[in-house]
Amino acid sequence: EDQVTQSPEALRLQEGESSSLNCSYTVSGLRGLFWYRQDPGKGPEFLFTLYSAGEEKEKERLKATLTKKESFLHITAPKPEDSATYLCAVRENTGNQFYFGTGTSLTVIP
């Protein structure tokens, strides 16, 4: 069965303390891997799409990377406003269905 697993479940960082979030996946054929940010009570906000192993995308303090089995979201020198839940999702080669991980809740302490 297709599966997306994110770790850690929760992460507390001091402001400026860089770290990485992990998303591991098992799907029969990956069409795309997606990272979203979600603030409490709001819809997920799209961050990145990664299509193939070795690909990297960057946006401000965030950098997403992809291997054949997992993706990392690297957060460099985080600020309190980066506090949110980060969701990973994958889409298979066939169909329109997205499979979500359970998310990592990030708290950045000033």
Partner 1 sequence: DTEVTQTPKHLVMGMTNKKSLKCEQHMGHRAMYWYKQKAKKPPELMFVYSYEKLSINESVPSRFSPECPNSSLLNLHLHALQPEDSALYLCASSQGGLAGYAALEQYFGPGTRLTVT
Q: 91 vs 108, which CB is nearer to partner 1?
A: 91
- Is residue 91 part of the contact set for partner 1 (CB under 8 A)? yes
- Is residue 79 part of the contact set for partner 1 (CB under 8 A)? no
CA triple 42-47-51, angle to 5 deg: 135
Residue bearing tokens 């949110």? 84
The burial class, CB within 10 Å (0-12 / 13-18 / 19+), for 10 is: exposed
The residue range among 11-19, 27-35, 57-65, 71-79 that interacts with partner 1, by the rule CB under 8 A, is 27-35
- We find the least distance from the C-beta atom of residue 18 to partner 1, in angstroms, to be 25
DSSP string of 10-43, one letter each residue: EEEEETT--EEEEEEEE-SSEEEEEEEEE-TTS-
- Is residue 5 part of the contact set for partner 1 (CB under 8 A)? no
How far apart CA 65 and CA 20 sit, in angstroms, is 10
Interacting positions 33-72 with partner 1 (CB under 8 A): 34, 36, 41-46, 49, 51
Residues that bind partner 1 (CB under 8 A): 31-32, 34, 36, 41-46, 49, 51, 87, 89, 91, 93-98, 100-103, 105
